[in-house]
Structure 1
Amino acid sequence: MSKRPGAAAPSIGPAHAAKVVVALVAVLALVGCGGSEEPAAPESSPPFADCATLTAPPPAAPQVTLPGQGDPLPDVALPCFTGGQEVEVSAIRGPAVLNLWGSWCGPCREELPAFQRFADRAAGKVTVIGVDIRDSRSAASSLAEELGVTYPNLFDPSERLRAKLGITALPATLFVDRDGRVRHVYNSTALDEAELATLAAQHLGVTLP
């Protein structure tokens, strides 16, 4: 029906006006966002160093002849915590110290700072390697960041290395010679830096200043 000349425009009720405003806000929001969601923030990277040098002796490691043979490291491949190719544990060359730990293990948490101080002190002579056991990446990364642990770590959530070694409790620390043979396994209370240095001298022939 046509509108008569001079007739008043129909009025818009409050309810209808509110619906119009809501519709306009929705349209403007879609235009401003381009119809896409905000990208999720990337996860922070773990604090550990990579594992590229674990299968070569430290550059300044002394040439030491040790008595006996020792047992070879187990034949198991574990992923580097920071990613990349898996590391064949049996290919690791020392002098090296492998510390099996988990964020859920009280003595492990206690001794981790000592391992970092020892790693800094022994850089170029002894390689310090962590093996994170039965853990989550987030829990291990969080603890390492809190304690300032940066030496390379392997990730072993299913405890394959622990089972191969026959170790039943953590923490446990392996002292490994240049040929990849285990010269000593320490499986007791938390170690401090002085005890680590003493064990490295006794079982790897490496004396630190």
Structure 2
Amino acid sequence: MIKNIIAIISLIALSTILIYQNFWPEEDKQDGAMIVSPEVAFLQKGDQVNNFELKLFENQEKVYTFNTERNKPIFINFWASWCKPCRDEMPALEKFSNQYKEELEVITINVTETESKLSDVQAFLDEGSYTFPVLLDENSDVTNAFSVITIPTSFLIDENGILMEDTIKGALTLEEMTEMWERNK
């Protein structure tokens, strides 16, 4: 019953996003993060996350496999190309990724179902020359599994798939990312 309710809420939210994405003037969409039902339970520090597989944006023939038994912690960021806070956060995320690449893996997951077209994602990525992996969540399966209801949203996960911080909602600065990692490593 609860799964059905969550599925219905997710479907309504995604429908709202798609309607907004397709019918709202482009300039109005640039200022905010996606927000849906406040009834979703956010993941919290200490929660176990599940394994998943998603296509890599750079080579959609390849699949990235997230396994909860890893060699090092991982920072996961959910985003979309139309989301201004997401776009603003990306340069800091690139610096953070480069600064800690020996200790921490950084990946981003594009909430692809909310995009008008993949060429928008490509155009944005081309502007920044980002080196971290970009994964495509075409059906929002992973987005929903992580209870992501706003973007950007990030997660810091240890080598065993355990959240090291509560769900991190909103854009982060390089300083905030660094402080969070230094506090948890």
Residues 60-108 of structure 1: per-residue CA shift (max 9 Å, x gap):
xxxxxxxxx8223224321122224323334473321101111011110
TM-score normalised by L of structure 1 = 0.59
The correspondence for 1:174, drawn from 155, 159, 162, is: 155
Say yes or no: does 1:193 pair with 2:174. yes
Q: CA deviation at 1:162?
A: 1.3
Q: Would the aligned equivalents of 1:72 and 1:180 in 2 still touch at CA under 8 Å?
A: yes
The one of the two structures with greater contact order (alpha-carbon pairs below 8 A, sep at least 6) is 2
* Residue ranges of structure 2 left out of the alignment (5+ in a row): 1-44
Q: CA deviation at 1:156?
A: 0.7
Say yes or no: does 1:141 pair with 2:122. yes
Structure 2 distance, partners of 1:174, 1:87, is 17
Residues 88-142 of structure 1: per-residue CA shift (max 9 Å, x gap):
3344733211011110111101100000011111121111101111334321121
TM-score normalised by L of structure 2 = 0.66
Say yes or no: does 1:126 pair with 2:104. yes
Which residue of the partner structure matches residue 88 of structure 2? 110
Structure 2 distance, partners of 1:86, 1:148, is 21
Change (3 A) 1:95 1:76: closer
Aligned partner letter, 1:118? F
Aligned partner letter, 2:83? C
Structure 2 distance, partners of 1:96, 1:75, is 13
Aligned partner letter, 1:81? F
Structure 1 distance, partners of 2:46, 2:63, is 25
Aligned partner letter, 1:112? M
Q: Structure 1 vs Structure 2: percent identity of aligned residues? A: 24
Look at both structures and tell me which one has the larger radius of gyration over its CA atoms: 1
* Residue ranges of structure 1 left out of the alignment (5+ in a row): 1-68
Change (3 A) 1:75 1:122: closer
Q: Would the aligned equivalents of 1:99 and 1:130 in 2 still touch at CA under 8 Å?
A: yes
The total of aligned residue pairs comes to: 136
Which residue of the partner structure matches residue 165 of structure 2? 184
Structure 2 distance, partners of 1:90, 1:185, is 20
Change (3 A) 1:110 1:95: same
Q: Would the aligned equivalents of 1:133 and 1:157 in 2 still touch at CA under 8 Å?
A: yes
